[in-house]
Structure 1
Amino acid sequence: MTMTALNNGALRQLLPAALALAGTALSFGVTATPSHAAASYYAVTLASPLDAPKRFVNGETPWACAGSECTAPRDTSRAAVVCARLVKKVGPIARFATPEGELAAEDLTKCNAGK
């Protein structure tokens, strides 16, 4: 047997193991990435900025706020309900938006009034 035949046989045995290892590493990297980073649905501007960045769960929605901006993934509740819950945690809101658009001025007023 020549060295080339040994090398080809060894490569054929190692290739599936190397591919499996690479696939495992890639899938771990994908699952270890925080999902909230790419899943922002709500974009909120507070009337007054917070003193320090804040992360909290309101209802079942995880929020991340920094300065006067807050973001969160989609909730199952209506936007007006999510807004009213958020006001209780962070105070008055100047702007509440989703990919579908901004909360109407009348709804934002009700939200800030706790209605």
Structure 2
Amino acid sequence: MIRPLIALAASALIAAPAAAATYTAKTSTQAPAKIPARDILWTCGSGACTGSTQNSRPAVLCQGLAKQAGRIESFVVDGREMAAADLERCNASARGDKSQALANAR
């Protein structure tokens, strides 16, 4: 009696698709309304961008957005804010970031 229930539960877990994470980024400048980047389509307005994907890492998504939208003030993944050190590394990729240009010159 219990074996069929275990088999059913196991098959449900295997068949369930991975849930997509939701990302929100506050930008320091006004970004375009739509920004396609790597594994996500960002929708931007009022100084913030949002998107959802299950196929990438937060650091990669943050850097991709920073390259197109400029400096990121905050980056939130499913309600959890990115650590300050990680956000700093993300912003090294920001469009127009002078510290990145200096690092590349060395």
TM-score tier by shorter-chain length is 0.5 to 0.7
Find out whether 1:84 has 2:63 as its counterpart: yes
| Distance (whole Å) between structure 1 residues aligned to residue 71 and residue 49 of structure 2 | 12
Report percent identity of matched pairs: 33
Aligned position for 1:32: none
Q: Number of aligned pairs? A: 75
In the aligned structure 2, how far is the partner of 1:110 from the partner of 1:45? 16
The one of 49, 56, 74 aligned to 2:35:
56
Alignment deviations for residues 5-56 of structure 1 (CA, whole Å, 9 cap, x no partner): xxxxxxxxxxxxxxxxxxxxxxxxxxxxxxxxxx770011001234xx5113
How high is the TM-score relative to the length of structure 1?
A: 0.58
Root-mean-square deviation (CA, aligned residues, Å) is 2.1
Q: Over alpha carbons, which structure has the higher Rg?
A: 1
- In 2, the alpha carbon distance for the partners of 1:64 and 1:82 equals 13
The alignment partner of 1:57 has SS state of strand
- Listed as ranges, the gaps of 5+ residues in structure 1 are 1-38
> TM-score, normalized by length of structure 2?
0.63
Comparing both structures, which one devotes a greater share of its residues to helix? 1
Q: Is the 8 A contact 1:61 1:75 kept in 2?
A: no
TM-fit CA distance, 1:76? 1.5
User: Matches of residues 12-51 of structure 1 in structure 2 within 5 Å?
Assistant: 41-50=22-31
Deviations for 1:51-91, whole angstroms, at most 9, x for unmatched residues? xx511311131110002110001242210111011100100
Residue segments in structure 2 that go unaligned for 5+ positions in a row: 1-19, 94-99, 101-106
Q: Could you tell me how far apart the structure 1 residues matched to 2:88 and 2:40 are?
A: 22
Q: Equivalents in 2 of 1:82, 1:107: separation in Å?
A: 12
Q: What SS does the aligned partner of 1:77 have?
A: coil
What letter corresponds to residue 30 of structure 2 in structure 1? P
4+ runs of 1 displaced by more than 6 Å? Answer: none
